[in-house]
């Protein structure tokens, strides 16, 4: 794992991608700090972090697009297969390298609240809890980006796909506000989701029976609840959609609350996508 980590880290700095990422993050942090703290005279560094979340839409695809897709393009994925390293170590090594690069601008940003405190009263604890949450969010998004990169052979395709998924996550709060909470709508929306899930199961397993079984297992209780306990479904789809609102989880931190549930959420998302990447890579090796 250490050899993969070192190699990945080196590749970021022998190519422009690592420097571009760092430059873009630090430039954005500088602009937002100047605007929020110096132009509008606000002592709250947490608003800078909140604005910085938007920058992740661009920087995360930039950082993660080459992680696996470039290996496939250069045919070095075969080298990784034949080295005596298991898939788990490869994926974790690569993720650790991405997380390390992500940590560099975050570590530099840690100095900003102290600089600002020279000119006014800055709530250091809130600022740092926000920085921690920001880093955790970045890690979760990076694991997602790494997963999208694992099934693309082209870096640009990987970046576009990653950007699309992160954009959806970013827009989820706006989408969920405009979703009807009526039970009829919830039933229909969940049914469509189940059909989509069955299609994914079929494409992954190539077994129609497994897809049908998934449909029956999920759709039967949904129909039962809809017929017998209609009221239970009210607002549930909105709540379901909110699960994907990763960026919304930063809000409690900006309000001065260190939200442990959000930290657990970010760690869970990170672990989920790392596991999915390991599964996908293992499956690819099986041919």
The size of the interface with another protein (CB under 8 A), counted in residues, is 24
With CB under 8 A as the contact rule, the residue among 15, 34, 255, 268 that binds another protein is 15
> Which H or E run contains 95?
helix 87-109
Question: How far apart are alpha carbons 140 and 201 in whole angstroms?
Answer: 24
Q: Which two tokens stand for residue 90?
A: 């490869």
With CB under 8 A as the contact rule, the residue among 84, 121, 221, 261 that binds another protein is 84
- With a CB cutoff of 8 Å and minimum separation 6, the contacts of 94 are 4, 5, 8, 67, 68, 146
For the chain, how many helices (H) and strands (E)?
Answer: 14, 0
- With a CB cutoff of 8 Å and minimum separation 6, the contacts of 283 are none
With CB under 8 A as the contact rule, the residue among 9, 20, 57, 81 that binds another protein is 81
With CB under 8 A as the contact rule, the residue among 78, 125, 207, 229 that binds another protein is 78
Asked if 74 is part of the footprint of another protein (rule: CB under 8 A), the reply reads yes
Burial class (CB in 10 A: 0-12, 13-18, 19+), 98: buried
The CB-of-74 to another protein minimum distance in angstroms stands at 6
DSSP state of 120: S
The dihedrals phi and psi of 275, each to the nearest 5 degrees, come to -65, -40
Residues in the chain: 287
Asked if 75 is part of the footprint of another protein (rule: CB under 8 A), the reply reads yes
The CB-of-86 to another protein minimum distance in angstroms stands at 7
The CB-of-20 to another protein minimum distance in angstroms stands at 14
The CB-of-287 to another protein minimum distance in angstroms stands at 5
> Which H or E run contains 69?
helix 69-73
Q: Which stretch binds another protein (CB under 8 A): 32-40, 68-76, 117-125, 273-281?
A: 68-76
Question: How far apart are alpha carbons 163 and 155 in whole angstroms?
Answer: 12
Q: Which stretch binds another protein (CB under 8 A): 48-56, 72-80, 104-112, 252-260?
A: 72-80
The CB-of-26 to another protein minimum distance in angstroms stands at 23
The CB-of-103 to another protein minimum distance in angstroms stands at 22
Asked if 76 is part of the footprint of another protein (rule: CB under 8 A), the reply reads yes
Question: How far apart are alpha carbons 95 and 281 in whole angstroms?
Answer: 14
The CB-of-5 to another protein minimum distance in angstroms stands at 10
With CB under 8 A as the contact rule, the residue among 41, 118, 174, 287 that binds another protein is 287
Query: Which residues contact another protein by CB under 8 A?
Result: 2-4, 6-7, 10-11, 14-15, 74-79, 81-86, 285-287
């Amino acid at each position: 794992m250490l050899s993969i980590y070192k190699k990945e880290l080196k590749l970021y700095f022998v190519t422009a991608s690592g420097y571009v990422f760092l430059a873009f993050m630090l430039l954005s942090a500088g602009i937002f700090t100047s605007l929020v703290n110096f132009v509008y005279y606000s002592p709250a560094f947490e608003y800078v972090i909140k604005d910085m979340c938007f920058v992740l839409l661009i920087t995360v695809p930039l950082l993660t697009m080459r992680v696996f897709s470039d290996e496939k393009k250069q045919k070095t994925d075969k080298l990784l297969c034949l080295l005596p390293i298991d898939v788990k170590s490869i994926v974790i090594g690569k993720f650790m390298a991405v997380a390390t690069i992500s940590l560099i601008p975050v570590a530099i940003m840690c100095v900003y609240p102290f600089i600002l405190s020279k000119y006014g009263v800055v709530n250091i604890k809130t600022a740092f809890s926000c920085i921690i949450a920001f880093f955790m969010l970045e890690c979760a998004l990076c694991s997602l980006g790494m997963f999208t990169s694992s099934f693309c052979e082209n870096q640009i395709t990987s970046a576009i796909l990653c950007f699309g998924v992160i954009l959806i996550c970013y827009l989820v709060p706006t989408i969920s506000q405009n979703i009807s909470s009526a039970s009829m709508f919830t039933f229909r929306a969940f049914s469509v989701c189940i059909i989509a899930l069955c299609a994914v199961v079929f494409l992954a397993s190539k077994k129609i029976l497994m897809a049908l079984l998934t449909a029956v297992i999920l759709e039967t209780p949904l129909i039962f609840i809809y017929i017998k306990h209609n009221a239970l479904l009210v607002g549930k789809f909105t709540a379901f959609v909110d699960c994907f609102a990763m960026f919304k989880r930063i809000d409690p931190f900006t309000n001065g609350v260190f939200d442990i549930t959000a930290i657990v959420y970010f760690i869970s998302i990170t672990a989920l996508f790392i596991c999915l990447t390991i599964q996908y890579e293992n499956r690819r090796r099986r041919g």
